[in-house]
């Protein structure tokens, strides 16, 4: 399963503008993480994400929030629900073409949805 998830997300995390790709369970526990940048660079954002993740997931799953996006100084965090229990979180640098990334993430989410059913 992890191998399949990794293969599906590979086109996303192999993008040099993508700093991190993670799949979180509804309780906030990560089930898959791929980090493309030095951890120190992302540490503060990761701590913030950990603190917020449960609340965000609550809004995504219970209040039908389609997606959530947060912009820090030069990093953007985007979160998309994949299934009723899993959310995909992608951390990108400001150089990324967001509209294109959104399209690719949507394709990956569809494929993940299939295997996580």
Partner 1 sequence: MRYEIIATPFNDPEKSCKIILDKLKKLEFIPNFILLFLTPGVQKRYTPFVRILRKFYPATPMLGLAVEGYIVKNEIWTRGLAILLGEFEGEVKVYYEREASATELARKIGSKIGRGWDAVLLVFPSVYIPGKINVIKNLYHDKINYIKFMLSKNSEDKKKVLEDHSKHLEKEGVIFPINKVLRIISRKIKSSILGVNLIPLEASFNSPLIIANYEVLKPGIAAMCFKGKVNIAFHDLYPERGKDFLETLSVIESFLCRCEKVKLLKKEISIGLIQNLKPSDFIEQKRKIETSKKVELINQLEKGKFLMFSPYILVLISSTTHGCSFLGLEKLPLNFYPSIFDLDVFYDEAIFCGEVFGGGIKEMIKVFDYKIFDSALDFFVIDCNIMMAYGGKVHSMINLIKRKSGNFFGIFSACPSAYIPEGSVIFKKRYLSEIEKNIFATGSGTITLLELKI
Q: Residue 7 interacts with partner 1 (CB under 8 A)? A: no
Sheet holding 75-81, edge to edge: 30-35, 18-25, 86-93, 75-81, 68-71
Binding mask 69-108 for partner 1 (x = CB under 8 A): -----------x--------------x-xxxxxxxxxxx-
Minimum gap (Å) between residue 61 Cβ and partner 1:
18
> Residue 52 in contact with residue 92, Cβ under 8 Å?
no
Nearest alpha-carbon partner for 74 in 41, 40, 34, 103:
41
Q: Could you give the CA distance from residue 117 to residue 104 in angstroms, rounded to a whole number?
A: 20
Q: Residue 60 interacts with partner 1 (CB under 8 A)? A: no
Minimum gap (Å) between residue 99 Cβ and partner 1:
5
> Which positions lie near partner 1, rule CB under 8 A?
10-11, 14-15, 67, 80, 95, 97-107, 110-111
């Amino acid at each position: 399963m992890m191998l399949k998830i990794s293969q599906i997300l590979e086109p996303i995390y192999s993008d040099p503008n993508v700093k991190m790709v993670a799949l979180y369970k509804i309780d906030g526990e990560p089930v898959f993480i791929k980090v493309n940048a030095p951890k120190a660079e992302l540490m503060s954002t990761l701590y913030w994400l950990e603190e917020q993740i449960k609340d965000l997931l609550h809004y995504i799953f219970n209040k039908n929030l389609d997606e959530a996006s947060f912009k820090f100084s030069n990093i953007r965090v985007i979160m998309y629900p994949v299934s009723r229990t899993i959310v995909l979180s992608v951390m990108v640098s400001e150089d990324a073409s967001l509209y294109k990334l959104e399209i690719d993430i949507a394709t990956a989410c569809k494929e993940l949805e299939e295997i996580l059913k």
